[in-house]
Amino acid sequence: MFDWTGTDDPTAWLVVPDAIELVGGLLPGGWPDVRARNHNLVLQARDGLCAALGIEPPAPDEMLGAMAALPLPDAEDGAVPSGWAEDPLADVLRHRWGIEVPVMSWPAPPHRLLRVSAQLYNRPEEYEALAEALSTELLPATPKPPIA
C-alpha cells in the first residue's frame, strides 16, 4: 500500500556543491567567517533570551555552534502536548507575535525547551523580538497583546 515513495528527484543532491560554494562566498573569509558570524550571533541571541527569562546560560559558549537550546518554564497543567502535537507556546508565538521557533517537551512533559539557531539571514532584532515575546507570554503580570 505504501510502497511508492514518490519521485526520486536527485536535484537536491546535485546542487549541494553549488550551495556550499555559494554560502562560503557570501563573506570575505569564506566558511570560517560564516561559522564565526553565526556562532557570535547565536551567543548574542542566547544571552538576550536568558536575560529576558531570568536564567543563566545552560551551556558554555564553546559548546555552541550556531544553535542554542534554552529551558523554558514548565507547561501549565493541561497545556502539555502529547506525541508530536505542537506546544501551545509555539502557536502563540506564531500567531500573536509572528515568530516561528521550535518549542518542545524535553526531557519529558511538563518540561520544555526552546531552540534558536543563527544563519546569515538572521538579525539581532529578530532575537530581541523573541525575547520580548517570551517575557510577555511567560512572566507573570505582563499584559498580553491580542492574538491576530
> What digits encode the pLDDT tens for the residues 66-120?
999 999 999 876 666 665 667 889 999 999 999 999 999 888 888 899 999 999 9
Q: Is residue 9 part of a domain?
A: no
Residues 11-42: tens digit of each pLDDT: 889 999 999 999 999 999 999 999 999 999 99
Residue 148 pLDDT > 90: no
Which domain range does residue 58 map to? 14-138
72 within domain boundaries:
yes
Residue 7 domain flag:
no
Within a domain: 24: yes
Give the position of cell 547565536: 42
Q: Which of 64, 61, 51 is nearest to 127 (CA)?
A: 51
| Total domain count, the chain | 1
Kindly state whether residue 143 falls inside one of the protein's structural domains. no
User: What pLDDT sits at residue 83?
Assistant: 59
How many helices and strands, by DSSP H and E, does the chain display? 4, 3
| Average of per-residue pLDDT across 2-15 | 78
Does 146 reside within a domain?
no
The answer to the question of residue 95 being in a domain is yes
Other residues' Cβ atoms within 10 Å of the Cβ of residue 111? 15
Q: How far apart are CA 143 and CA 148, in angstroms?
A: 15
CATH number at residue 34: 3.90.1150.10
Q: Which residue has the higher pLDDT, 9 or 3?
A: 9
Question: Residue 45: its pLDDT value, please?
Answer: 98
pLDDT attached to residue 147: 65
For residue 22, being part of any structural domain is answered with yes
